[in-house]
Chain A
């Protein structure tokens, strides 16, 4: 059971960092950015790139990659999405799919399709209550928790955060109240890009750097954002950890014992858990698990 909790916290952290970016951008622009998960891929490869050209410590490598991806996200919004959104949210969504494919194609063209490893010292796992945990995983969970806590604090306590939430809740009213929507949107994209890159960097430290590391998370991340109710940051975070827990539990439960035998859900179906939850939730609660009001377009 301890292992289930540890695994869920690790996976939940990755999903949460990406899901809040998706949900924030949706809140401000009412458009679901499929390319959100590629910010993780870009963050991880960005770190590999920084490591290869600059002799700086690992912390600085990560920081440079994260800020760079954040700025890239703002640029992509300004150059690509402002124009596509002028046609329609549907056009922007197709465009984000194209962008997602393009990002991976560019990386593959430059560095090839093989996974990369960050140059990190090998670590010994520690035993916490019967669960095997590496220090990297502990750091991953802790850093994510801090980052998410800071984000939520900023959104709730600072004038900037309140502006973001105001635009998200009611764009017309926020505009009437004199909130600069353009600046708010830029900031939102920076946060989405930076947190996505952070997820990528942490994932890269825990496992490896690969082309599909972001796209592989697309459906669970969307599932978390939708479960939490698109536009709700707190909901997305809670849903991400919940989804991760359900994923790990489903794999651990002996469903066969219900009929007096042995039968586990094969681990290959891990990704399917998120899909199935996503479809079921979309069907019965399009407003998300925690939402009160349907947010249908």
Chain B
């Protein structure tokens, strides 16, 4: 039981990083990124491919972060020509394109079977203390991302993002480069998703195209909406709750008398119902975004 909870906690912390990343885009800036998993994949495959060729892990991680920042900036630049809905579809298309490439370029990615035996961290420890160490690491990275997110959104930079989200023309009239703001927030948040991808790959020692399915993006969206779009603390709570929900329902076929293949659908159903339910009844999420109070002294 403790092992199970530890495992859930590690994965939840990694997904928390993804939630922070998506929250910077969708929550702070109003960018509907339906292809978040693509940036996760860039980090994951950069780590997988580099370590497969014997590179040390920091190199793989760094390559992933740089590539993701560049890709993020490029995708943000698309926001110049594309209205919000069109941009959302474009991100979904790009992430799917990346998944197809991962699936079909065997020489680079080993195709459908994926890259296994990626070296993990803390391999000298026993299973339980290893997970404990992992939890510490993931939580540390999560805290770091949260801190960056708080600093960035608390300053003028964040006010510009929020103004771009709600009244882009007003933002432009006050001298703020609307396209540049999108590019910069993508360049900051995409590497966070890549970092999550790299950590995840090291944690489970594997990356395959199956992990780049759009469902992963959908799971993060659920976390962000359940927690509270625009509230960094809320989305981390959302990540923990949704991940726990998703993992606990793993045992659903033990309780109910349904075939285990069908139970997979039930697990997805629970997540989908949570997202739709929150959108419908409580679109602000569990911890809604609040007006930021600026004191004369602060």
Contacts and interface: CB of A to CB of B under 8 A. Distances in A.
Query: Do A and B interact directly, with beta carbons closer than 8 Å?
Result: yes
Interface of A: 31-32, 80, 83-84, 87, 89-91, 93-95, 97-99, 101-102, 104-114, 218-219, 222-223, 226, 266, 268-269, 271-272, 275-276, 278-279, 282-283, 286, 296-297
Name the 6 nearest CB pairs between A and B, nearest first: A108-B265, A105-B269, A109-B265, A102-B272, A105-B268, A297-B83
B261 interface: yes
A114 B261 CA distance: 9
B280 A84 contact: yes
Contacts of B90: 278-279, 282
Contacts of B258: 109
Contacts of B261: 108, 112-114
A59 B111 CA distance: 42
A113 B86 contact: no
Contacts of B86: 226, 282, 286
Interface stretch (B40-48, B49-57, B93-101, B117-125): B93-101
A226 B86 CA distance: 9
A15 B17 CA distance: 37
Interface in B190-211: none
B32 A80 contact: no
- Interface secondary structure of B, over-half rule: helix
Nearest to A215: B214
B82 A286 contact: yes
Contacts of A101: 215, 218, 268, 271-272, 275
Contact of A95 (B218, B271, B276): B276
A101 B283 CA distance: 18
Contacts of A89: 84-85
B63 interface: no
A94 B32 contact: yes
A45 to B, nearest CB: 13
A97 B218 contact: yes
Nearest to B78: A283
A84 B103 CA distance: 36
Contact of A106 (B221, B269, B280): B269
Nearest to B270: A105
Given A275-B96, A278-B90, A102 B276 contact: yes
A105 B272 contact: yes
29 contacts: A32-B89, A80-B280, A90-B32, A98-B279, A99-B272, A99-B276, A101-B268, A101-B275, A104-B265, A104-B268, A105-B265, A106-B269, A109-B263, A109-B265, A111-B262, A113-B261, A113-B265, A114-B261, A219-B89, A268-B103, A269-B100, A272-B100, A276-B97, A278-B89, A279-B93, A282-B89, A286-B82, A286-B86, A296-B83
Contacts of B97: 272, 275-276, 279
Contacts of B273: 102
Given A84-B280, A109-B262, A112-B262, A271 B100 contact: yes
Contacts of B167: none
Interface in B53-104: 78, 81-86, 88-90, 92-94, 96-97, 100, 103-104
B264 interface: yes
B266 interface: yes
Contacts of B263: 109
Contact of B81 (A31, A106, A278, A286): A286
Interface string B166-184: 0000000000000000000
A98 B276 contact: yes
A226 B34 CA distance: 17
Given A94-B32, A272-B97, 10 more contacts: A97-B218, A98-B276, A102-B272, A105-B267, A109-B265, A112-B259, A112-B261, A113-B262, A283-B82, A286-B86
Contacts of B142: none
Contacts of A97: 34, 218, 221
B234 interface: no
B30 interface: yes
B279 A110 contact: no
B85 A297 contact: yes
A272 B104 CA distance: 11
Contacts of A296: 83
B135 interface: no
A95 B221 CA distance: 11
Given A32-B85, A286-B83, A268 B280 contact: no
Nearest to B265: A108
B262 A80 contact: no
A2 to B, nearest CB: 28
Nearest to A284: B81
A297 B263 CA distance: 41
A93 B85 CA distance: 8
Contacts of A283: 78, 81-82
B269 A226 contact: no
A223 B93 CA distance: 10
